[in-house]
Amino acid sequence: MADAPDKLRVDKWLWHARFFKTRSIAAKLVSAGKLRVNGQPIAKPAYTVSPEDVLTFPQARDVRVVKVIAMGERRGPALEAQALYEDLAPPEPRGAEPQAPRYDGGGRPTKKDRRAWQQTRSDMVE
């Protein structure tokens, strides 16, 4: 097999390192200008990265800061992908996700509630 290249397109590297599910999602992130390489904003997915470059980009609700260690030949298993980078700012563990609002018994009245309300109103009118 051939050795890994010295440089690789940034969208391809992000995909190899398993930060994004598809290469096109990685390319859209880069095209939107949300990626920084060594502190410089990058807007072209064809920008090449090499070892020792530091990438900063948003992923889900976190901002990831990773240092490129190696170039990958393929999108392999997770352990192989984790060997491609060093995480400089690992995401902080979060507490439990906020729950969806629950029904508190208020809101629209039931048919029984409406009839009881109408009964009290008819008693008042007479």
The Cβ-side half-sphere exposure at 109, using a 13 Å CA radius, reads 8
C-alpha torsion 77→94→23→80, nearest 10: -20
What percent of the residues of the chain are helix, what percent strand, and what percent coil, each to the nearest 5?
A: 30, 20, 50
Q: Write out pLDDT tens, residues 78-97.
A: 999 999 999 998 777 777 77
Q: Is the pLDDT of residue 14 over 90?
A: yes
Using an 8 Å Cβ cutoff, are 88 and 65 in contact?
Answer: yes
Using an 8 Å Cβ cutoff, are 6 and 42 in contact?
Answer: no
Average pLDDT over residues 6-23: 95
What pLDDT band is residue 121 in, cutting at 50, 70 and 90?
A: confident
CATH fold, domain 1-91, is 3.10.290
Q: Write out pLDDT tens, residues 42-68.
A: 999 999 999 999 999 998 888 999 999
Edge-to-edge strand list for the sheet holding 85-87: 40-42, 35-37, 54-59, 62-68, 85-87
Task: Give residue 1's pLDDT.
Answer: 45
What pLDDT band is residue 108 in, cutting at 50, 70 and 90?
A: confident
Task: Give residue 3's pLDDT.
Answer: 64
Sorted by where each begins, the domain ranges of the chain are: 1-91
What pLDDT band is residue 125 in, cutting at 50, 70 and 90?
A: low
Using an 8 Å Cβ cutoff, are 54 and 35 in contact?
Answer: no
pTM for this predicted structure: 0.71
Task: Give residue 87's pLDDT.
Answer: 93
Q: Is the pLDDT of residue 35 over 50?
A: yes
Amino acid identity, position 100: A
